[in-house]
Amino acid sequence: MLSYLIRRTRGLMTAAALASILSGLFSVLLIAQINVALTSDAASRADSHVNPAWAFAGIAVALMVCRMVSTALFERLGQRALAELRSFVAQCVAETPFAQFERVGSARIQSALTEHSNNVAVLFVSLPVILTNTVIVVGCLGYLAMLSWQVFLFALGVIGLGAVGYHLVHLRAIHYLQDASSEQDRLFGHFRALTDGAKELRLHQRKSRVFMDQILGESVEGVRRLRTYGMSLFVISTSWGQFLMYAFIGLVLFVLAGDGPNQTQVMTGFALVFVFMVTPLEGLLINIPRINMARVAASRIDDITREMPQGQERQATTQTTQVPALQRLELRDVTHQYYHEQSDDFFELGPINLSFTPGEVVFLVGGNGSGKTTLAKVVVGLYPPEGGEVLLNGERVEADGWDAYRQLFSVVFSDFHLFERLLEAPREGLDEEGNRLLAKLHLQHKVRVENGAFTTQALSQGQRKRLALVVSYLEDRPFLVFDEWAADQDPLFKEVFYCEVLPELKRMGKAVLVITHDDRYFHLADRLVRLESGKLLAPEQLDGEQPTSVEVEAIEPS
């Protein structure tokens, strides 16, 4: 992931890095100029070819300009990196088959889009400090070598001792940060449960206390504890490095100082350079953990995106797919398997043999856990079948044709989502058509369609489902699927749905699949399909005989 970002920003990165390196070099020149000014006499300054004051001023101005350019460019890089990362992860999500998306989990994806992306972006903001301070430390060491190579070697030994200690502590700190990153993914799942389960938590005080204290609380505490351990180790190692620096200054001034001819200049230079070098070295040691946090975060993003294979559905986001005509849709010996939590075993749907034609309303019924919603997801192509085949207009749907196939359907699932805007292709009269449908569903006094968007979504669940029904109308697809749409509606709107909406869709030539438990309306279906334990029941077996896999024919209205 870091390599990807660097490749995407190579030119800007090079310019920003060059400005940071120049900033470090000018900082070293500035401290050298200060040392010369402190240790030289007036005569030597007068003999200089360049006025020291002007030299000092020129270096200071150059340092200021380089720092401004470096900081501005890296800030721009940070924001661009964050945008690139989020766009990349979002694109991966959009192109990932739905079943694979479910396995990855929305909590991990949210973590990648927020926490992990921010940690990677912070690296780019920290890079000017890291590069500049690295150049300053290296340049200061070079200047010390010019003053006295013996003392320089001693300084190098002190810094090497500090580096070894820092590295050993650093390895342990990274382990804690990686554990904290894994716990962070779980924490995002708990945050989602906090909002999605708001009603349940308020209705059950004991459940709320257990969730807040033992689930969410322990996860929050786990992230805090692990990150505190990791960052505390970095602070300890930084303090150790600072102690060694000051200890070295003390040794130079009070132990190694001699009476040589240039000893005063050398000792003053060493003390001045080391005091000056403490702050850049401290900044370097403080910002190095950000590199490691960015590496950990980028690694987590890599892990997540590797679980979302790209390319299978790329057509969905790169070009508009033509919606094919629907003459007949057939599932032939289709099977699908998934893990069933209640039985702690794998649940197998099928083999399913089922067909649909335009202008036909099919009711899908069955008990809870019988596989109705899973079958609906297979029908609409969210779950490509593991066995058997799906035929559209007599032709088998191949691996590269699933995205085009899915464009046949408008679906209102029980866990539907309403987007802020109507994302259908803009067309003339969209607002008017939407408002007509809102009036039909008695919502005209609560919400309107204006400029392709609903004026509000602050409605009850039943009212929001009616908005979702309006969206499915406006999409104007040849096949509509409703998963327990009427479950949250009062009797008036159940009557509207079954007796007005479904007949109108039938007259429009739409194929309609309705998952329902409303047996009082079963007689309105052209066909009634019953599913039990993943198997279709034939009409003559609806009274409790063993299920078989057959095509369910039309039943006469009762």
Q: Is the separation of the CB atoms in 552 and 528 below 8 Å?
A: yes
Split at pLDDT 50, 70, 90, the class of 137 is: confident
Q: 549 pLDDT exceeds 80?
A: no
Cβ atoms 30, 11 nearer than 8 A? no
| 237-251: pLDDT as tens digits | 777 767 777 777 777
d(CA 327, CA 73): 58
Predicted confidence band of residue 335 (pLDDT cuts 50, 70, 90):
very high
Residue 218 has pLDDT above 60, yes or no: yes
What does the H/E/C string look like for 128-162? HHHHHHHHHHHHHHHHHHHHCHHHHHHHHHHHHHH
Average pLDDT value for residue range 90-109: 83
Residues 6 or more apart whose Cβ sits within 8 Å of residue 522: 363, 365, 528, 558
Q: What percent of the chain has pLDDT over 90?
A: 16
What does the chain come to in residues? 558
- Whether residue 550 is predicted with pLDDT greater than 50 in this model: the reply is no
Q: What is the CATH code of the structural domain delimited by 329-541?
A: 3.40.50.300
Q: Give the amino acid at 521.
A: Y
Distance of CA 217 to the CA centre of its chain: 23
pLDDT in the model for residue 525:
93
pLDDT band at 340 (very low <50, low <70, confident <90, very high): low
* pLDDT at residue number 546: 41
pLDDT, mean of residues 86-94: 85
Taking residues 340-349, report their average pLDDT. Answer: 69
Contact 416, 470 (CB under 8 A): no
- Band (pLDDT 50/70/90 cuts) for residue 341 is low
What residues have CB less than 8 Å from 205, skipping those under 6 apart?
none
Q: Which two tokens stand for residue 145?
A: 């070598």
- Can you tell me the distance from the alpha carbon of 128 to that of 284, in angstroms, rounded to the nearest whole number? 10
* Continuous segment of H or E residues that includes residue 463: helix 461-475
Q: Each residue of 146-180: pLDDT tens digit?
A: 777 777 787 777 777 777 777 778 778 878 887 88
Structure confidence at residue 544 (pLDDT): 41
Q: Is the pLDDT of residue 313 over 60?
A: no
- Looking at the chain, the whole-number percentage of residues with pLDDT higher than 70 is 84
Confidence of residue 533 (pLDDT cuts 50, 70, 90): confident
pLDDT at 49 over 50: yes
By CB atoms closer than 10 A (0-12, 13-18, 19+), residue 256 is middle
* Number of other CB atoms surrounding residue 255 within 10 Å: 7
Q: Which residue has the higher pLDDT, 350 or 377?
A: 377
User: Nearest 5 degrees, angle CA 416-CA 419-CA 422?
Assistant: 115
Confidence band, pLDDT 50/70/90 cuts, at residue 361: very high
CATH superfamily for 2-306 is ABC transporter type 1, transmembrane domain (1.20.1560.10)
Q: Classify residue 519 by burial, with Cβ atoms within 10 Å: 0-12, 13-18, 19+.
A: exposed
Three-class DSSP labels, 467-491: HHHHHHHHHCCCEEEEECHHHHCCH
Task: Kindly give the interhelix angle for 263-306 and 149-196, rounded to the nearest 10 degrees.
Answer: 30
Q: Range with the lowest mean pLDDT among 84-93, 353-362, 535-544?
A: 535-544
Q: How many helices (H) and strands (E) does the chain have?
A: 19, 12
Dihedral sign computed on CA atoms, order 239, 241, 247, 250: negative
Q: Are strands 449-450 and 395-396 parallel, antiparallel or unpaired?
A: unpaired
Predicted structure pTM score: 0.65
CA contacts within 13 A on the Cβ side of 121: 19
What per-residue string of b and e applies to 345-375 under the rule 16 or more CB within 10 Å gives b? eebbbbbbbbebebebbbbbbbeebbbbbbb
Tell me if 317 sits within 8 A of 91, measured CB to CB.
yes
- Over the stretch 235-285, which tens digit does the pLDDT of each residue have? 777 777 677 777 777 776 676 655 555 666 666 777 777 777 777 877 777
Q: Which residue has the higher pLDDT, 250 or 351?
A: 351
Report the C-alpha gap between 320 and 425 in whole angstroms: 10
CATH 3.40.50.300 in the chain, residue ranges: 329-541
How far apart CA 547 and CA 129 sit, in angstroms, is 70
Q: What is the pLDDT of residue 320?
A: 54
Minimum mean pLDDT among 81-90, 218-227, 508-517: which range? 81-90
Yes or no: say if 266 and 35 are a contact pair by the CB < 8 Å rule.
no
Query: CB neighbours of 467 closer than 8 A, spacing ≥ 6?
Result: 418, 443, 447, 454, 457, 459
170 close to 241: Cβ distance less than 8 angstroms: no
Q: What is the pLDDT of residue 552?
A: 44
Report, as an integer, the average pLDDT of 99-127.
82
CA-derived radius of gyration, the chain: 34
Q: Which residues 6+ apart lie within 8 Å of 440 measured at CB? A: 496, 500
Q: What is the torsion angle, in degrees rounded to the nearest 10, for the CA atoms of residue 458, residue 196, residue 201 and residue 456?
A: 0
pLDDT at residue 203 greater than cutoff 80: no
pLDDT of residue 40: 64
Q: What is the pLDDT of residues 59-79, one digit of tens each?
A: 889 989 988 888 888 888 888
pLDDT band at 502 (very low <50, low <70, confident <90, very high): very high
Q: What is the rounded average pLDDT of the residues 375-390?
A: 92
Per DSSP, what are the bridge partners of residue 336?
349
48 has a pLDDT exceeding 60: no
Range(s) for CATH 1.20.1560.10 in the chain?
2-306
What is the rounded average pLDDT of the residues 545-557? 41
Q: Which long-range contacts (CB under 8 A, 24 or more apart) does 423-429 make?
A: 424/471, 424/474, 424/475, 424/476, 426/452
- Is residue 317 over pLDDT 50? no
Mean pLDDT, rounded, of the chain: 80
